[in-house]
Structure 1
Amino acid sequence: MVTAATHSPAFPPVAETADDVLLGLDPEQREVATTLRGPVCVLAGAGTGKTRAITHRIAYGVRAGILPPAGVLAVTFTNRAAGEMRGRLRALGAAGVQARTFHSAALRQLQYFWPRAVGGELPRLVERKIQLVAEAAARCGLRLDRNELRDVTGEIEWAKVTQTVPVDYAAAALKAHREPPRDAAEISQVYGLYEQLKRDRMVIDFEDVLLLTVGILQDRQDIAEQIRTQYQHFVVDEYQDVSPLQQRLLDLWLGDRDSLCVVGDASQTIYSFTGATPDHLLDFRNRYPQATLVKLVRDYRSTPQVVHLANGVLAQARGRAAEHRLELVSQRDGGPDPAYAEYPDEPAEAEGVARRIRDLIDAGVPAGEIAVLFRINAQSEVYEQALADAGVPYQLRGAERFFERQEVRKALVSLRGAAHSRGNDPLLDAVVDLASQVRAVLSAHGWSPQPPAGSGAVRDQWESLAALVRLAEDFSRAKPAAGLGDLVVELDERAAAQHAPTVQGVTLASLHAAKGLEWDAVFLVGLTDGMLPITYAKTDDQVEEERRLLYVGVTRARIHLTLSWALSRAPGGRSSRRPSRFLNGLRPGSAATAPRTGGSAAGGPPGGRSRTRRGPVRCRVCGKTLTDAGEMKLMRCEDCPSDMDEGLYDRLREWRAEQARQLGQPAFCVFTDKTLMAIAEAAPGDPGELAMISGVGRRKLDRFGTDVLAICAGQEPGGSDGDDA
């Protein structure tokens, strides 16, 4: 059942009284809204109505006369989110509250206080720093193409938000396991000269806006006090995404006060490559021991089937963020189970997805309520083509259409020129087959047999060119007698077909670009090892961020969810790919692997402790293969007779209720009903036997194992640690 807690109109009528603001909130949202004193930390899972909770909190405080509208600063990370927050606050009768991004709030303060703190006018803001980076690189004797410039610029931005100066860049990048696009010493040199050029020309960049505001507030106590007098209360959304520099600015805004409410979800941290870190969220209660902690776990967005899968994706996670994961509980009526689809090759996968989308549209699902999400933008081309062939309108989000990308346009120009010069180009004339000719032409644009190391624009460019090479290979197989001119005609026709304007269409987007959005139907495609997790995710932390990307993708779906992968790249290719390891234990017939600690990106060191089911899971009563997650926990069919000790089950339920009361959490956060039944049926006698029960991971074994084993042995539990910081 979907309650009014998140599905009331986006702009409801203005509430008559302060108490009216609280109408329609669930108990946890209401606690957020009414806890107006002291530090508050809200751990909010996907789809749990966090924006609703914090906007109603601000509005309730304003309408009750507790918070002065002009004294509240709500901070978020995108202009879209800030605009949405302002709209909701106006609708709730709290129009005077400031809702801004970190950069917008800092720039406003910098413009106001600069004449007083420094004198004169604020230096001009450079919106595109890439030109200055290019000049700095040239002065260092480095020739960087457009994509390398983007990557080096990204490294400079990362260094600045992590408060790393040029001389320290190389050491900091090594410590952070970054893979710089150039030698770290070269980037350090470019970074230093870039900063010098800005000083010489009296210009600043976006990161300087934060750095200079921090500098003024640190040096000028009078200005800091004026800002603190203006703003007495702060709310920070998406707190898992704050950088060290943004946290420093927030600290200076606060001073020695603690009137702060932060909202976030460590399981949705997917931007660490930009300097974002969930550490500030996870350390909040260490910093503010008296803080009120509220967990929002009621999911109003997705069906129980989608939520169950989302919880399963994180169940095998490891690392610090995983220790604080939220177990979501759907508030919607049931829907279809997530579908899993395996295809022989990528074109077949794209065609299959297009067919399913066509069926959904024919069944009444609007095209605008459907999304295809992938790991990297270069994957879009085959889906653009498949949807165009199926007559399904689409729109790309966060990326140019494949044939509109600069590197693709330049490559087409070169291929067209090469086709015209056939017979006059000794290099091309020496190459017989079409695919080799294309490789020879594109090698001048950055294509190579092996991809470049790391991520970034250079890798994106290579992926686009590699997609053209694959198109040429496929075209050559389909038409062995075709030449370079025939391929150019084919590519031009594809480009023309996909340039057709679309209005209401299926969204094609990367998983990163999909953050914060939702659709009725979501297709997660290309889910193979090497793509998710991506090949260049080497460390445990990097692999876990890839897992969180999948979690974000799953939680974008309201009703329909399809996960698919292809066993080979091209038709007739060797079926060497494997489905993403993140689907192990989730897709029917796969082995479930428990989390390991201290392991490698591939899943832990030799000899590490693990729990793996090999082959299909079968009912221990009738022998039938089990695919339902609940039945797999019990190791038997729901309809098969149970040998559960009813008395033991009752004692476990009583113990669980007391634990839940102490923790201030729903009972399922201790153990689900199915896990409790499995424990009562197995009556484990030692930690090893308890660990083999699905739903008892390392963390719960360490935390609750002693109590559970005592109860199973007919003894009184000794008490578990109830601190869930």
Structure 2
Amino acid sequence: MKQVMILTSLSIYPTPLGTKQTTERPIPHARMALLTNSSDFVSDADRDAYFFRDLESHQILLNEAQVQAVRHFKGPLLTLAGAGSGKTTVLVCRVAYLLRVHRVHPSNLLLITFSKKAAEEMRERLTSMPGLDHSMTNTMQVRTFHAFCLRLLRMNGLQQEILSDGRYQQIVFKRIMLGMGLQDTYQPEVLISLLSSYKMQLIEVEDLPEGTEEDKEVKRIFMQYEQWKMEQQKIDFDDILIKAYHLLQQNTDVLRSLQRKFTYISVDEFQDTNTVQYEIIQMIAKDHENLMVVGDDDQTIYSFNGARNEFILQFHEKYPAAKTVTLDINYRSTSSIVGLGNAIITHNVQRKSKTLLATKESDRKPQYVKPTNSDDEADWLINDLRIKVAEGGSQYGELFCIGQPATVGRLSSS
């Protein structure tokens, strides 16, 4: 019953919310991409032809820009990967290319991503790549930033327990505020997010401002929290990155060891990298600069936690010799959804110029809804998918494969 109520409570609009129009405007459709793949431009005479022929036999068909990224060998590479453009495929194919074509040892490869699920997916996909096996993929480092840094710290003597329970962390803040008589003044989750943002910008708690009474109260709460962790022999997730950063800064032997070991580094979702993560990667890649970063400055979603898309925008300032490859073909969504996305993204002020092409035509008009929160959005979408399947003619896998379940673009003025 709840799902039906949620479904009917969300109005469906034929045009984006917040727009004024008296006549129906044409929906912007993305231009259709010319569908080619490596078999069209990688000649059998090329010395690496066997690699791409093996990919093609496994139905891994790379377009020209993807091949350029995969073939990149030495020096920094910025890969601008629009939504649905096959960035994960490019990442795993380039790793395979380094292993098979350039004979790079698996232990010299470091592949960093942002979620455990993404790391597991990449490891699985690498194992299924032609010419690779478990022994090779188990030797290389495919990890999240936190997993990589924690392993580094453990190998160098860190023994503190990880404070991994977010609810317990909130309880600790509540107890601190209760002891200070501030139990109803601040929300623990807000304070935790604020402290994380400071730390990821390499701002020490001791250096926080004390200009107002609120500044002083917040700083005292943070100081007591840091003191509690020290007394309890615990560190939180942010401390993992901070301590790894300080270790590399202060211990040149450890840093040199990593620089010699990881001669090829790839970073996924680079637009979500914060200052600490960026500095760690820069330090390790400093000598060889064989650094491939993949991301899209238009898709930064963690700015509230210190992510800075200017690391993409200013990549060539840090690495003047860097090559740029733009993946601009969307294989996921239809031309109307891609076109709407293009139209909205053009209003971003600071961005790398790119316009996505589509591979799927669509005559169906996008629909627009404005959920009050993420739960309403999820419930509405699930209900809509169920209705589409119940009406016949669609399967769940098909709806998700086209990347356009219920032809919904959640595009509004908010």
| Contact 1:299–1:330, Cα closer than 8 Å, also in 2 | yes
Q: Aligned partners of 2:161 and 2:234: how far apart in 1?
A: 5
**Letter of the 1:99 counterpart:** V
Name the SS of the counterpart of 2:181 in structure 1: coil
Q: Which of 138, 141, 152 is 1:109 aligned to?
A: 152
Q: How far apart are 1:325 and its partner, in Å?
A: 4.1
Q: Which of 240, 243, 253 is 1:222 aligned to?
A: 253
Q: Aligned partners of 1:163 and 1:215: how far apart in 2?
A: 10
**Letter of the 1:46 counterpart:** A
Segments of structure 1 that go 5 or more residues without pairing to the other structure are 7-14, 115-120, 175-181, 371-517, 521-556, 565-578, 583-725
Q: Aligned partners of 1:356 and 1:206: how far apart in 2?
A: 36
Residue 581 (str. 1) matches residue 413 (str. 2): yes
Q: Aligned partners of 1:45 and 1:230: how far apart in 2?
A: 31
Q: Which of 26, 34, 39 is 2:71 aligned to?
A: 34
Counterpart residue number, 1:257: 288
Q: Aligned partners of 2:304 and 2:92: how far apart in 1?
A: 29
| Contact 1:136–1:197, Cα closer than 8 Å, also in 2 | no
Q: Aligned partners of 2:55 and 2:381: how far apart in 1?
A: 46
Name the SS of the counterpart of 2:288 in structure 1: coil
RMSD of aligned residue pairs (Cα, Å): 3.3
Counterpart residue number, 2:236: 205
Counterpart residue number, 1:314: 345
Counterpart residue number, 1:191: 222
**Letter of the 1:326 counterpart:** K
Deviation track 1:144-193 (CA, whole Å, cap 9, x = no partner) reads 59x91122112122221111222443489x9xxxxxxx933322111111
CA 1:136–1:70: 2 relative to 1, 3 Å:
same
Name the SS of the counterpart of 1:306 in structure 2: helix
Q: Which of 170, 185, 210 is 1:130 aligned to?
A: 170
Q: Aligned partners of 1:222 and 1:45: how far apart in 2?
A: 39
CA 1:341–1:154: 2 relative to 1, 3 Å:
closer
Q: Aligned partners of 1:220 and 1:193: how far apart in 2?
A: 28
| Contact 1:158–1:275, Cα closer than 8 Å, also in 2 | yes
Q: Aligned partners of 2:51 and 2:267: how far apart in 1?
A: 22
Q: Aligned partners of 2:369 and 2:233: how far apart in 1?
A: 57
**Letter of the 1:142 counterpart:** L
Deviation track 1:639-668 (CA, whole Å, cap 9, x = no partner) reads xxxxxxxxxxxxxxxxxxxxxxxxxxxxxx
Correspondence 1:143-542 to 2 at 5 A = 143-144=183-184, 148-170=187-209, 183-315=214-346, 317-321=347-351, 324-340=352-368, 358-359=387-388, 361-367=390-396, 520=402
Q: How far apart are 1:4 and its partner, in Å?
A: 9.1
Counterpart residue number, 1:141: 181
Correspondence 1:64-83 to 2 at 5 A = 64-83=101-120
Q: Which of 394, 404, 407 is 1:558 aligned to?
A: 404
Q: How far apart are 1:365 and its partner, in Å?
A: 2.4
Q: Aligned partners of 1:98 and 1:292: how far apart in 2?
A: 24
| Contact 1:58–1:67, Cα closer than 8 Å, also in 2 | no
**What TM-score does the superposition give when structure 2 sets the normalisation length?**
0.76
| Contact 2:37–2:62, Cα closer than 8 Å, also in 1 | yes
Deviation track 1:194-236 (CA, whole Å, cap 9, x = no partner) reads 1112122222111111111111111111111112122111000
Q: How far apart are 1:72 and its partner, in Å?
A: 0.5
CA 1:246–1:21: 2 relative to 1, 3 Å:
farther
| Contact 2:385–2:396, Cα closer than 8 Å, also in 1 | no
**Letter of the 2:196 counterpart:** E
Q: Aligned partners of 2:369 and 2:114: how far apart in 1?
A: 36
| Contact 1:55–1:89, Cα closer than 8 Å, also in 2 | yes
Q: Aligned partners of 2:381 and 2:244: how far apart in 1?
A: 52
Segments of structure 2 that go 5 or more residues without pairing to the other structure are 1-31, 39-47
Q: Aligned partners of 1:300 and 1:167: how far apart in 2?
A: 49
CA 1:236–1:335: 2 relative to 1, 3 Å:
farther
| Contact 2:77–2:291, Cα closer than 8 Å, also in 1 | yes
Q: How far apart are 1:110 and its partner, in Å?
A: 0.6
Q: Aligned partners of 1:33 and 1:356: how far apart in 2?
A: 36
Name the SS of the counterpart of 1:197 in structure 2: helix
Counterpart residue number, 1:57: 94
Deviation track 1:581-640 (CA, whole Å, cap 9, x = no partner) reads 37xxxxxxxxxxxxxxxxxxxxxxxxxxxxxxxxxxxxxxxxxxxxxxxxxxxxxxxxxx
| Contact 2:114–2:268, Cα closer than 8 Å, also in 1 | yes
CA 1:217–1:340: 2 relative to 1, 3 Å:
closer
**Letter of the 2:413 counterpart:** R
**Letter of the 1:279 counterpart:** E
Q: How far apart are 1:74 and its partner, in Å?
A: 0.4
Higher-RCO chain (CA-CA 8 Å, sequence separation at least 6) = 2
Counterpart residue number, 1:48: 85
Q: Aligned partners of 1:205 and 1:352: how far apart in 2?
A: 35
Considering only CA atoms, is the larger Rg found in Structure 1 or Structure 2? 1
Counterpart residue number, 2:7: none
Aligned residues: 354
CA 1:19–1:352: 2 relative to 1, 3 Å:
closer
Q: How far apart are 1:97 and its partner, in Å?
A: 2.3
Name the SS of the counterpart of 1:339 in structure 2: coil
Name the SS of the counterpart of 2:253 in structure 1: helix
CA 1:135–1:366: 2 relative to 1, 3 Å:
same
**Letter of the 1:558 counterpart:** Q
User: Which segment drifts farther, 215-224 or 161-170?
Assistant: 161-170
Name the SS of the counterpart of 1:263 in structure 2: strand
Residue 85 (str. 1) matches residue 114 (str. 2): no
Deviation track 1:512-538 (CA, whole Å, cap 9, x = no partner) reads xxxxxx564xxxxxxxxxxxxxxxxxx
Q: How far apart are 1:293 and its partner, in Å?
A: 0.4
Q: How far apart are 1:105 and its partner, in Å?
A: 0.3
Q: How far apart are 1:560 and its partner, in Å?
A: 4.4
CA 1:171–1:44: 2 relative to 1, 3 Å:
farther
Q: Aligned partners of 2:232 and 2:369: how far apart in 1?
A: 57
Q: Aligned partners of 2:147 and 2:246: how far apart in 1?
A: 17
User: Which segment drifts farther, 163-172 or 197-206?
Assistant: 163-172
**Letter of the 2:203 counterpart:** T
Q: Aligned partners of 1:314 and 1:246: how far apart in 2?
A: 26
| Contact 1:22–1:33, Cα closer than 8 Å, also in 2 | no
Q: How far apart are 1:255 and its partner, in Å?
A: 2.9
Correspondence 1:581-660 to 2 at 5 A = 581=413
Q: How far apart are 1:113 and its partner, in Å?
A: 1.4
Residue 97 (str. 1) matches residue 140 (str. 2): yes
Q: How far apart are 1:359 and its partner, in Å?
A: 4.5
User: Which segment drifts farther, 28-37 or 60-69?
Assistant: 60-69
Q: How far apart are 1:17 and its partner, in Å?
A: 4.9
| Contact 2:337–2:366, Cα closer than 8 Å, also in 1 | yes
CA 1:169–1:363: 2 relative to 1, 3 Å:
farther
Calculate percent identity across the aligned residue pairs. 27
CA 1:308–1:361: 2 relative to 1, 3 Å:
farther
| Contact 1:299–1:329, Cα closer than 8 Å, also in 2 | yes
Q: Aligned partners of 2:381 and 2:171: how far apart in 1?
A: 43
CA 1:140–1:257: 2 relative to 1, 3 Å:
farther
Q: How far apart are 1:340 and its partner, in Å?
A: 4.8
Name the SS of the counterpart of 1:294 in structure 2: strand
Q: Aligned partners of 1:209 and 1:351: how far apart in 2?
A: 38
**Letter of the 2:392 counterpart:** A
Q: How far apart are 1:248 and its partner, in Å?
A: 1.4
Q: Aligned partners of 1:282 and 1:25: how far apart in 2?
A: 26
Q: Aligned partners of 1:342 and 1:207: how far apart in 2?
A: 34
Q: Aligned partners of 1:26 and 1:298: how far apart in 2?
A: 9
**What TM-score does the superposition give when structure 1 sets the normalisation length?**
0.45
Deviation track 1:51-96 (CA, whole Å, cap 9, x = no partner) reads 1011101101101134221100000000011111111111121523
Name the SS of the counterpart of 1:224 in structure 2: helix
**Letter of the 1:63 counterpart:** R
Counterpart residue number, 1:554: none
